[in-house]
Structure 1
Amino acid sequence: MRLSNRNKTSVYGFINTLLIFFLIAGVGAYFLEKYRFNILGKERFLLIAVPAFLILLFYLNGRQIFEYDSDGEALHFRNRNIIPFLQKPLSDEFPKYKLLKFEIINMFFMKRLYIKISSKNNGMTLLKYEISYLTRKEIKDLRFSLNKVIKTNKEKSVNI
């Protein structure tokens, strides 16, 4: 199964551009308010604080683009930001039989995918992906696919 929200890159880019525009306009309005109009008083700080908070919220939600591929004998996960220099993109590929378990954490605005895989060195490795920008249906499909892989792994280990 393949899952990707890469087709929404232009939407996320537009939102990012719009938020930056609001911040620049807020800074301009702040200085106009401070030195020219002086209508708002101390509330003029909101002209900068609100757009800055929205930008912060947008980036704290994590990497926007998530791709998952379970076709073949390997699982492939990619997680990247629309602005490449902000965060290092994550890309992991490993055989399906190494998947031990997974957990999807839903924290208010943020959603995270934690995957535990078997490893030769420490016995287990934890991989973390940010899936905040996936829809409910995409998360449901991801959960279904990963459960299917885990079920197949358990059946194979019982037969051995």
Structure 2
Amino acid sequence: MRLSNRTKAPVYNFINTLLLMMFFGGIIGFIIEEYKFQILGALSYLLIIIPVSLLVLFYINGRQIFEYDSDGEALHFKNRNIVPFLNQPLSDEFPKYKLMKFETVSLLFVKRLYVTISSKNSGSTILKYEISYLTQKEVNDLKFSLNKVIKANKERRH
């Protein structure tokens, strides 16, 4: 099964550009308000605070693009940001038989996928992926596919 939200990258780029424009517009509006008009008073700080908080929320949600491929004998995960210099892209590929378990965690706007794989050196390794920008249907499809792999691994061991 293949799962990807790469086609939504232009939407995320648009949102990112819009938020940056709001931020710079807020700074210009704040400067003009403070030195020219002085109408808003203390409320003029909202011209900076609101765009900054929206921008921080957008980036805290994590990497926007998530790709998953379970075709063949290996599982392949990719997780990257639309702004290339913000975070290092994650790319992991491992055989299906190494998958031990997985867990999804949701806290308000942030969703994470924790995948535990078996490792020769340390016994197990936990890989972390940010899936905040996946729809609920995509998350359910991902869970279904990973459960299928885990079930096949348990049958293979017994």
Same fold, TM-score > 0.5, yes or no: yes
- Which structure 2 residue ranges, 5 or more long, are not aligned? none
1:32 corresponding residue in structure 2: 32
2:129 corresponding residue in structure 1: 129
Partners of 2:124 and 2:33 in 1: how far apart? 57
User: Once the 2 structures are TM-superposed, how far is the Cα of residue 142 of structure 1 from its aligned partner?
Assistant: 0.1
1:142 corresponding residue in structure 2: 142
Give the secondary structure class of the aligned counterpart of 2:84.
coil
User: Once the 2 structures are TM-superposed, how far is the Cα of residue 78 of structure 1 from its aligned partner?
Assistant: 0.1
Report the AA paired with residue 127 of structure 2.
Answer: L
Correspondence list, 1:2-151, <5 A? 2-151=2-151
Q: TM-score, normalised by structure 2?
A: 1.00
User: Once the 2 structures are TM-superposed, how far is the Cα of residue 37 of structure 1 from its aligned partner?
Assistant: 0.6
* Identical residues among aligned pairs (%): 66
- Which structure 1 residue ranges, 5 or more long, are not aligned? none
Give the secondary structure class of the aligned counterpart of 1:66.
strand
CA offsets 1:1-44 (integer angstroms, 9 cap, x no match): 00000000000000000000000110010011101110110111
CA offsets 1:51-103 (integer angstroms, 9 cap, x no match): 00000000000000000000000000000000110000000000000000000
Partners of 1:156 and 1:31 in 2: how far apart? 66
Partners of 1:121 and 1:84 in 2: how far apart? 32
Report the AA paired with residue 21 of structure 1.
Answer: M
Report the AA paired with residue 137 of structure 2.
Answer: K
User: Once the 2 structures are TM-superposed, how far is the Cα of residue 153 of structure 1 from its aligned partner?
Assistant: 0.2
Q: Runs of 4 or more off by more than 4 Å in structure 1?
A: none
Partners of 2:24 and 2:84 in 1: how far apart? 22
Partners of 1:85 and 1:40 in 2: how far apart? 37
Partners of 2:18 and 2:106 in 1: how far apart? 27
Give the secondary structure class of the aligned counterpart of 2:101.
strand
